[in-house]
Structure 1
Amino acid sequence: MPAKLSAIDTAKFVAAKRACEFVEDGMRVGLGTGSTAAWLVRCLGELVEDGLKITGVPTSIRTAELARDVGISVTTLDEAKWLDLTIDGADEYDPELNLIKGGGGALLQEKIVATASDRMIVIADRTKQVETLGAFPLPVEVIPFGWQTTKALLEETIAALDVMGDKVTLRMDGNAPYITDEGNHILDLHLGRIGNARQMALVLNQIPGVVENGLFIDICDIVVTGNGNGRVQVKDINNGSSSEDVIEFDEDENLFADLGD
């Protein structure tokens, strides 16, 4: 049996478990990428094993592989066309449920899938909640051609915006640049604080060479936040509701202890 879960793993697990309650039989569900989203995929896999019928649209190659491994039927967004729900993690979220995403390198597919859904639910632990976005480096996906020119344009642009820092770094994978599923690079913007996230999102996408940025503005509908003691908060931005409950589970039967960061 796996060892006792850490507080952070417990928080991710209970958030994922609670988010599964929004999934209904027959739904087409966008499946996010990252360590927290992986817990969701495993939880959904258990429900599928018990008879739940859903179709998953993964946001990355690795999520697709995990979904198939746990028995979830997988299709493409082109085949599904529109989704009932997308559930994904986040690197940061603010009180208005605006997000920074892309720490796992899948921001482009994640944003496309999320915006092709009736609702987006974010699952997170308490550390992802912030008053102002920007402490987590903001990922920007860029095409490889002329990326250094794109980097210089980004540096020039953010220097004129309401931020605390203006450092831009190329994301690496060992000694080579990180390559996204679409064959692009990621430039991480170390901003410290983003004074106007909406303006930032619009301005960044006007720069030649930029494919997409990791700011998710007015996309997320619900955030499910897990805590290390098993408590879960659910905040719905559309109806202004907020609720809290406790997720009970038998840790000795937990199969997810290998899904930490």
Structure 2
Amino acid sequence: MLTDALKESAARAALDLVNDGMRLGLGTGSTAARFVDALGERVGQGLKVLCVPTSEATRAQAERLGIPLTTLKDTPQLDLTVDGADEIDDQLRLIKGGGGALLREKIVATASNQMVVIADESKVVATLGAFPLPIEVVPFGFASTLRLIEIMSTQAGCEGEIMQRQTPGGGRFVTDQDNYIVDCAFGAIQEPEVLAFALKRVPGVVEHGLFLGVADLAIVAGPDGVRVIRRPGE
């Protein structure tokens, strides 16, 4: 219950950054869902916003709450994206993708003037990698892509079990883009930029869950209150 309360606190704090008339990106995951709920309350009170969801799950939630939606085709530049994270380090580098929406999340975040991460204190780490790194891959040539991911990751200094994500029922997890997710238990990722570069060289990799230089600030809720982590140099 404490974690739920902290997620709620971070989400409510992020709502203070939203102004009337903003174009927003809406993230995916349990903490982002709390922000969408809070935003829905404000919309019901008269707040005017236009939003792009990062997943079909978020789209359905926003529609239930009466939040006006658009697409990046019609609104290619956004003011602010608010999303969660699976891990955050002190340089505001992230691992995302636990909810399987990392591709859309990264597209929407980079289409925004500002990305704000909301999280509870447990998501802040000294070194990224305890949370398995999600990678979205196309189904074609899956076995070959998996092999190349292992080779390139090893060359980047990362080794560990690479597993295809399954649904709770035991089937293959399929993203909103009809791709697969593999989760890489690398442990500590000492050089995230090196690993990110290596993974992008694998043709079957659509996107990876390392969000580097994307987030502008993180709103983190802990037992002692809410604090802000900013990207170094800003």
Q: Which residue of 2 aligns with 1:169?
A: 163
The structure that has the greater radius of gyration is 1
Q: Which residue of 2 aligns with 1:140?
A: 135
Instruction: Return the offset for 1:176.
Output: 1.5
Q: Is the counterpart of residue 237 in structure 1 residue 231 in structure 2?
A: yes
- Residues 111-131 of structure 1 deviation map (CA, whole Å, 9 limit, x = unaligned): 000000000000000010001
Q: Which residue of 2 aligns with 1:123?
A: 118
- Residues 152-188 of structure 1 deviation map (CA, whole Å, 9 limit, x = unaligned): 111111122223x321100011222100000000011
SS in 1 for 2:47: coil
Give the TM-score normalised by the residue count of structure 2: 0.97
Q: Which residue of 2 aligns with 1:53?
A: 48
SS in 2 for 1:75: coil
Asked whether the equivalents of residues 91 and 232 of structure 2 are also in contact (C-alpha less than 8 Å), the reply is: no
For 1:190 and 1:228, how far apart are their aligned partners in 2?
Answer: 29
- Residues 223-251 of structure 1 deviation map (CA, whole Å, 9 limit, x = unaligned): 0001246x1112232665xxxxxxxxxxx
Which one-letter code corresponds to 2:63 in the other structure?
Answer: R
Q: How does 1:22-61 map to 2 (within 5 A)?
A: 22-61=17-56
For 2:154 and 2:229, how far apart are their aligned partners in 1?
Answer: 34
Q: Which residue of 1 aligns with 2:4?
A: 9
Asked whether the equivalents of residues 223 and 235 of structure 1 are also in contact (C-alpha less than 8 Å), the reply is: yes
> What stretches of structure 1 move > 3 A for 4+ residues in a row?
none
For 1:217 and 1:161, how far apart are their aligned partners in 2?
Answer: 16
What is the total number of aligned residue pairs between the two structures? Answer: 233
Asked whether the equivalents of residues 8 and 228 of structure 1 are also in contact (C-alpha less than 8 Å), the reply is: no
Asked whether the equivalents of residues 90 and 128 of structure 1 are also in contact (C-alpha less than 8 Å), the reply is: yes
Asked whether the equivalents of residues 156 and 198 of structure 2 are also in contact (C-alpha less than 8 Å), the reply is: no
Asked whether the equivalents of residues 84 and 117 of structure 2 are also in contact (C-alpha less than 8 Å), the reply is: yes
For 2:220 and 2:213, how far apart are their aligned partners in 1?
Answer: 18
Instruction: Return the offset for 1:205.
Output: 1.0
Structure 1: runs of 5 or more not aligned: 1-5, 241-261
Asked whether the equivalents of residues 221 and 238 of structure 1 are also in contact (C-alpha less than 8 Å), the reply is: no
Q: Is the counterpart of residue 198 in structure 1 residue 189 in structure 2?
A: no
For 1:64 and 1:101, how far apart are their aligned partners in 2?
Answer: 19
The counterpart of 1:81, out of the listed 72, 76, 80, is 76
The verdict on how the C-alpha distance between 1:218 and 1:45 changes in structure 2, with shifts beyond 3 A counting, is same
Asked whether the equivalents of residues 92 and 136 of structure 1 are also in contact (C-alpha less than 8 Å), the reply is: yes
- Residues 20-70 of structure 1 deviation map (CA, whole Å, 9 limit, x = unaligned): 000100000000000000000000011111111001100000100101111
The verdict on how the C-alpha distance between 1:141 and 1:14 changes in structure 2, with shifts beyond 3 A counting, is same
Q: Is the counterpart of residue 182 in structure 1 residue 177 in structure 2?
A: yes
The verdict on how the C-alpha distance between 1:195 and 1:161 changes in structure 2, with shifts beyond 3 A counting, is same
Q: How does 1:89-104 map to 2 (within 5 A)?
A: 89-104=84-99
Q: Is the counterpart of residue 160 in structure 1 residue 124 in structure 2?
A: no
Moved more, 170-179 or 153-162: 153-162
SS in 1 for 2:78: coil
Q: Which residue of 2 aligns with 1:254?
A: none
Q: Which residue of 1 aligns with 2:211?
A: 216
Give the TM-score normalised by the residue count of structure 1: 0.87
SS in 2 for 1:42: helix
SS in 1 for 2:113: coil
Instruction: Return the offset for 1:219.
Output: 0.4
- Residues 80-138 of structure 1 deviation map (CA, whole Å, 9 limit, x = unaligned): 11000000000001001010000000000000000000000000000100011011000
Asked whether the equivalents of residues 128 and 188 of structure 2 are also in contact (C-alpha less than 8 Å), the reply is: yes
Q: Percent identity?
A: 48
